[in-house]
Chain A
Amino acid sequence: MNRNRLYLFLFMACVVGFIWLAITYNQGSSNTGKPGVCLFKRLTNIPCPSCGSTRSVLSLLKGDITGAVMSNPLGIILLILLVLTPIWIFCDLVGKKSTLFIFYNRSEYFLRRKWVASSAILIVLLNWIWNIYKGV
């Protein structure tokens, strides 16, 4: 994947994320536990590793950090990505640089190391088990 395609892809992903946030912002947390857009949860009724991240981001926006962690800690990472990525892309495009692309390639290389990959898998699995236990 080259630089411009990656930037377009990430930007579109952020736009979809913001639209989704705008839609769900007004509904509040009234739909707790009900399957939303998640395919896996609709099919199996078991929450997937990232279920609850919408609720988590929404509670973060209201300043409720404990609620965010209790919904899904991944929401914090998602909100950071959602805010940071468009700014980074904008800076890169204005300055005609490709720092984000270089960072992406380096982090991909970093994530392929055995101990990083296995600890990341462990964290995601633990989060998933916690998710199922909470019944998000």
Chain B
Amino acid sequence: MEAQKVDMFIMTNAKYFESYQLSAIRERLISMDDSRWVMISTLQLKDPTISLVISILVGHFGIDRMVIGDVGLGILKLITCGGMGIWTLVDWFLIMGITRQKNMEKIQPYLY
């Protein structure tokens, strides 16, 4: 793929991934065939900031976990009163990183 195209993708999507993952993603994209570009560029990724907002507002009910795809853990969080409040507090700090990890898991099958 053209470097210009890849750099544009990296620039617009940098916030969805951890910083250490970006160089690997860039390398994979450059060595990739052009036909996959449509799939990669239309991928729906979750915004870490949005999940942080959800976590602060309704994280107590496990909605944040359900939104990023961990439905089982979300329900567990809901029926344990947000893990007795502790899990809610912990997730305020972890949820952005977890969302980025989930995005990486989502893009991985297209990269390899």
A residues within 8 Å of B by Cβ?
1, 13, 16-17, 20, 37-40, 48-51, 53, 74, 77-78, 104, 107-108, 111-112, 117, 120, 124
Q: Check A78 against B80 for contact (C-beta < 8 Å).
A: yes
Which A residues are in CB contact (< 8 Å) with B84?
16, 20, 37-38
Q: Are B71 and A112 in contact (CB under 8 A)?
A: yes
B97 CB–A CB distance under 8 Å: no
> Do residues B61 and A48 form an inter-chain contact, with CB atoms below 8 A?
yes
Does any Cβ of A come within 8 Å of B88's Cβ? yes
Residues 7-49 of B, flagged 1 when their CB comes within 8 A of A and 0 if not, give 0000000000000000000000000000000000000000000
> When chains A and B are docked, how far (Å) is the Cα of A53 from the Cα of B78?
12
Q: Please, how many angstroms separate the alpha-carbon atoms of A17 and B60 in the complex?
A: 17
Q: How near does chain A come to B57, taking the closest CB pair, in angstroms?
A: 11
Q: B50 contacts the other chain (Cβ, under 8 Å)?
A: no
Please give the number of chain B residues whose Cβ is less than 8 angstroms from any Cβ of chain A in the complex.
19
A127 to chain B, nearest CB (A): 10
Contacts of A108 in B (CB 8 A): 70-72
Enumerate chain B residues within 8 angstroms of A112, measured Cβ to Cβ: 71
Contacts of B85 in A (CB 8 A): 37-39
Asked whether A107 lies within 8 Å of B60 as measured between CB atoms, the reply is no
In this assembly, does B76 line the interface, its C-beta being within 8 Å of a C-beta of chain A?
yes
By a beta-carbon cutoff of 8 Å, the part of chain B in contact with chain A is: 60-61, 70-73, 75-76, 78-86, 88-89
How far apart are B90's CB and chain A's nearest CB, in angstroms? 12
Partner of B80, one of A13, A104, A111, A117: A13
Measured between alpha carbons, how far is A1 from B85 in the docked complex, in Å? 22
Bound Cα distance from A39 to B56, whole angstroms: 12
Which residues of the partner chain B approach A124 to less than 8 Å between Cβ atoms? 78
* CB of A69 to closest CB in B, whole Å: 15
Known contacts A16-B86, A53-B80, A74-B79; 16 further A-B pairs (Cβ under 8 A): A1-B70, A1-B73, A20-B84, A37-B81, A38-B82, A38-B85, A39-B88, A48-B60, A48-B81, A49-B78, A49-B79, A51-B81, A77-B79, A108-B70, A108-B72, A120-B75
> Does the CB pair B60–A40 fall under 8 Å?
yes
Asked if A13 meets B76 with Cβ closer than 8 Å, knowing A39-B88, A111-B71, the reply is yes
**Shortest CB distance A82–B (Å):** 10
A-B contacts, 21 of them at CB < 8 A, read A16-B84, A37-B81, A38-B82, A39-B85, A39-B88, A40-B60, A40-B81, A40-B82, A48-B82, A49-B61, A50-B78, A50-B80, A50-B81, A53-B79, A53-B80, A53-B81, A77-B79, A78-B80, A108-B70, A111-B71, A124-B78
